[in-house]
Amino acid sequence: MAMEQIIFTDLDGTLLNHYDYSFEEAKEAIEYIKISKSQSYLEIRIFFKHIKKQFPLKGFGDMSVENVRELTGLSEESAKHSMRRNFTEPFIFEGVVDLKLLKDEAEKEGLEIVKGGRFYHVISQGQGKAKAMMHLTHLYEEYFEKKFTTIALDDSENDFSMLQAADVGVLIPWPNGEFADINTENIIKATYPGSKGCNKALLEILDAS
């Protein structure tokens, strides 16, 4: 009997298209997907307010709805939803930034700076999607008293650890057809970007299992 699977996916650029945030082409796969997230937003905002004194940064918590709409192309309602943060803080550079120094400062506070498909993000150190995925999988296995195969899908380098930690990792290409510059050994490269690539790759994996 084949082992049951748990699927974890990124949202922007993977389950959702990069530009219009549509998941229309992933509807077949949606029913299989569990979404992982982590980090405390309050501790991240405290750090961010402090670090802005040293670096020219602007986070979602500093932006107006119109700012977010201009950067993302979201509708007003969707932009408002995206600004109701519980975990990470997306941000942009408003000048020249020494990224290594910024990462060092974040590390001192138990935080990390990671690059997503569109923004940089501040997240809690050691509590990214890989850890959340492994923790949730452990809970499932403990509750159901059986093992599960984990499948993870993402398009950016900041979640490389999740792709590595999963039994099956899928890297989704960007809209221009290129892939994040990461070691893709033992990681499947999807054929299409966004929801179409997510849907096709996931259904092929499930059909083969």
Question: Model-level pTM?
Answer: 0.63
> Which of 123, 151, 114, 142 is CA-nearest to residue 14?
151
Query: Contact at 8 Å (CB) between 156 and 13?
Result: yes
Which is the catalytic residue, given 10, 12, 154, 155?
A: 10
**Residue 167: CB atoms within 10 Å:** 14
Query: What integer pLDDT is reported at residue 127 of this predicted model?
Result: 60
Query: Contact at 8 Å (CB) between 66 and 82?
Result: no
Q: Which residue segments constitute the domains of the chain, with CATH numbers given?
A: 5-37+128-208 (3.40.50.1000), 41-124 (3.30.980.20)
The per-residue pLDDT string of the chain (209 residues; one tens digit each, 9 = 90 and over) reads 467 888 888 877 788 887 777 888 888 887 776 555 544 677 788 888 888 889 999 989 899 999 999 998 888 998 898 888 877 889 999 999 999 999 999 988 888 888 877 889 888 776 667 887 888 888 888 888 899 999 999 988 777 888 989 999 999 999 998 898 877 777 999 999 999 999 999 999 988 87
What secondary structure letter does DSSP report for 186? T
Report H helices in 60-193: 65-72, 76-82, 99-108, 129-144, 160-165
Number of residues that this document lists for the chain: 209
Euclidean distance between CA atoms 191 and 183, whole angstroms: 17
Query: What integer pLDDT is reported at residue 39 of this predicted model?
Result: 46
3-class DSSP state of 132: helix
Query: What integer pLDDT is reported at residue 172 of this predicted model?
Result: 93
Query: What integer pLDDT is reported at residue 1 of this predicted model?
Result: 44
Beta-strand pair 89-93/120-124: antiparallel
Report the largest interatomic distance among the alpha carbons of the chain, rounded to a whole angstrom: 58
Does the annotation count 10 as an active-site position? yes
